[in-house]
Structure 1
Amino acid sequence: MERKIITTADGSKTIHLPELNEHYHSKHGAINEAKHVFIKSGFDYILSKNKLSALDIMEIGFGTGLNAFITFLEAEKINLPIHYVGVEAYPVALSEAKLMNYPEVLAVKEKQQVFDTMHQSLWELPVEITSNFKLFKRKQFFADIQDKSRFDLIYFDAFGARVQPELWTIEIFRKMYEVLRFKGVLVTYAAKGSVRRAMQEVGFVVERLPGPPGKREMLRATKVES
């Protein structure tokens, strides 16, 4: 399948799959989307609601590593230990990752080595990016996830339901519910009614929030029962 590197509206790069008409990130701004959906509505939100001395995060769709990298930057500001698990069935090639310009656009060129290490590190082995940021990349289909009550926060960044509807089902969100600890939070750029109803069916309390640039709404789901 053809894969193109494109520049999004905020100057940051992403990958476009023309055959599917699907992007790894919003064409309206990859970095803007990541900051709005996953940092503001997820990372910042859960820290404002819970007194946590460390944060366990699972990302569904590790992709280009953008969400992991921005999370590292935000956690570094507040000296918060992060254990980050990135799940990806089809990893981005290292050659493609090297074309992503996130450290430059974020004005943190001195952190280029951190971004590079995230991609150069081996799959299925834990790596200490810094003393406060531990990364574990799992090459795994989302349906095979078996973790129970292990994570505080899920970044649900799979390809859209139009392209991969099997990733947005009751069965998948039941797994996500089981993955989270009590009061754990899942955030996603998606806002379809069918997605919201699937989340509610498994027990999530779901909020519709203003979306990132180019998108009217997004969803945030909270696990309210232990």
Structure 2
Amino acid sequence: MTDAIQNPNDADPKAAPKFRRRKDARPDEILDAALRLFVEQGFAKTRVEDIATRAGVSKGAVYLYFPSKDALIEALVDRALGGMADEIGAAMRAYNGHPRPLLERFAGVVRHHLEQNDVIAVPKLIIHEAPSQPQLARIYGERVINKVMPDVIAMFSRAMDAGHIRRLDPEMLVRSMLGPVFLHIILSDIFGIVPERGLSLDLLFETHLSVFFAGIEPVKEA
């Protein structure tokens, strides 16, 4: 008599194979693996098979959640910065006072996010890959920058109308505000020019906002 086939559910739970992990954990495991590989060997050189192996799942499992490598980038951007972008946008739309308190508050939020390695790795990856993979810059623009910029521009316009800040081109004002943050990362990550204290995002934001708001205060009549 042949031995009865053992029911997999009766097996020792400690020996459960990887495919029995909680299904709701798999997308994050795949994203973690994809991000590490994209950083290590570049977007173009990373195969879906490599991601599956690193995540401990089948290639089909990767495609089940993410139909393409671009979809993986979309999910990485959303996971790292999408929620923050939505929060900032909603707050900007509802705000009518002087912009300084709100921007100082969100400078802290942004700094906290960017100090997490798995978060700052995403914009760094986009900056590295954008010259050869322009669709990644488009994805980042659509899912982060374009979600926030119109609301910040409108908030600055309302502040000008209320006399809180001097009248300037609001879009150029937003670009002037965001530019130093991107340049700070580019100088450090692309050119290797790092301040003695490291990235020091807290010091960067404190310095930048002080200079920025000094420059947009209403002009006092003589």
**TM-score under structure 2 normalisation?**
0.24
Length-normalised TM-score, structure 1: 0.24
Bigger Rg over Cα: 2
More helix by share: 2
